[in-house]
Amino acid sequence: MSEAVIELKHITKRFAKVLANDDVSITVHKGEVVALLGENGAGKSTIMKILYGLYHATSGEIWIDGKERKIASPKEAMALGISMIQQHFSLVPAHTVTENIILGNCKGRVDIKAKEKEIEALAKQYGFDVPAGEYIKNLSVGTQQKVEILKALYLNARILIMDEPTAVLTPQEIDTLMTFVKNYVSKGNSVVFITHKMKEVMQVSDTIVVMRNGKICGTVKREDTNEKELAHMMIGHDLETLQAPGGDDLEKKKKRLIVEDLTIQKKDSAPVLDHINLTVHEGEILGIAGVSDNGQQELCEALYGAETPTQGKILLDGRDITATSVKDRITMGMGYTASDRYRYGMVAEMSLAENMLLKASYLKNWVSHGIINWKKLRQYTERQIKEYKIKAPDCNVTVGSLSGGNQQKVVVAREADMGKSLVIFDQPTRGLDLGAINYVHKTILGEKNSGKSVILVSTELSEIFALSDRIAVMYKGRIMGIYKNGELTTEKIGLLMAGYQPDKEEEA
């Protein structure tokens, strides 16, 4: 084994009443990928933020290259060659790629054109296609992440900490990232890969450190383990087996949602939704598969009332709701978990109880004559915390203080309760760990079994296959076809997602 570049020894970190890290020791060697695996809230990000100087340990030691170091800030970590790419990017949208990369690292007069060429050469070296002169706000999420990596490489980082790096990437972007990681460590650098996705762990890691409840519960070599063993270590028990979808005779069930020729087309541009036709029955989960940015979000927003269709009709329980407001649709029993929970699903600075009240402040559940019944609202929130197994001390803590998985459970709890007839789940498990994913899946199936109609939008084909009764495939704002679950193979669905019609090509 090559020499150790990082040794974290007996690190303990307390936040008031919360013990985030409990006697954690981790070693990272030169040219090694260490996967830090665990559920949301297991303490993975906390221990790495201590190494990066964002947090300071309550007790314990940090050794770099065989010497004990006190890392008081990210600046000191960077001076030691340590860089961290966090889950939520720290880029300035109004600046260009080059300006973001050199920000804080250049003094005096700067030749931007020369710096752009330098950044382009660096990007090319690692196989990244990044436009050095483009503004961050105009880039896709995947390209923004490459900019974050280039920031670290520009500073000659030799130890790269990647916190949930694939949470918002497409399958193709994930493959590009994995290729980069392998290339980067082959040059003698090291990577700590914080994740909860088994496939990625088995793909790139050399050593796997599993954390649970702030402690290390196992350190194994990749070749000595398997996904089932890691899942058991991670959550402490085997995952609950969920019922297989399908088998229901949908023709006998009432049509709850009918969408006819739904189109959204902005002036002088191609339609983002192009004559969408679909039906969802009561007690049915309709899965919508597709690569990101093919009209799925616009479809969800049009159904929910946040986008105005150019043409077409939306009927809910026989009523034409095409021109009704979001408020009216909520009153009619429509729930919607948006794909970006941070922007559209919650207010991080508000308490759990206040977040449960969002979107329902004009309903009679907790409000009478303009006065909020806080006691009733808190009691309800405490029940939801218990029912959805949300890890929170009580309903008064802010949602922002919870882990990502528990934040998503809060949003799902609220929307599933508000959606009395139809619930739209847009990327409901993005960025969640195995245990939280299993729980959200169980909730979605529970909504279907209670007779509600469910629309499930996901870029994860495994999720679509596991939950849907029927599957609609979207490509560039059009529905390529709607099929019963089991009618098509993964390969054929993949072709439809890329815009090909496999059946037509076979006939030809």
The DSSP code sequence of 260-322 is: EEEEE--TTS--SEEEEEEEEETT-EEEEE--SSSSHHHHHHHHHTSS--SEEEEEETTEE-T
Q: Tell me whether the CATH fold assigned to 4-235 matches the one assigned to 255-507.
A: yes
Residue 239's pLDDT is what? 61
**DSSP letter string, 189-255:** -EEEEEE--HHHHHHH-SEEEEEETTEEEEEEEGGG--HHHHHHHHHSSPPPPPPP-----GGGS-E
- What topology is assigned to 255-507 in CATH? Rossmann fold (3.40.50)
Residue-wise pLDDT for 244-297, tens only, equals 666 667 778 889 999 999 999 888 888 889 999 999 999 999 999 987 778 898
Provide the 3-class DSSP secondary structure of residue 329: helix
Residue-wise pLDDT for 321-356, tens only, equals 999 999 899 989 999 998 888 888 899 899 999 999
Rounded CA gap, 22 and 135, in Å?
42
Identify the band that residue 426 occupies on the pLDDT scale cut at 50, 70 and 90.
very high
Residue 238's pLDDT is what? 63
Rounded to the nearest integer, the mean pLDDT of the chain is 86
Domain ranges of the chain: 4-235, 255-507
- What topology is assigned to 4-235 in CATH? Rossmann fold (3.40.50)
Model pTM greater than 0.75? no
What are the tokens at 268? 């002088």
pLDDT above 60 for 508: no
Mean pLDDT of 75-85: 91
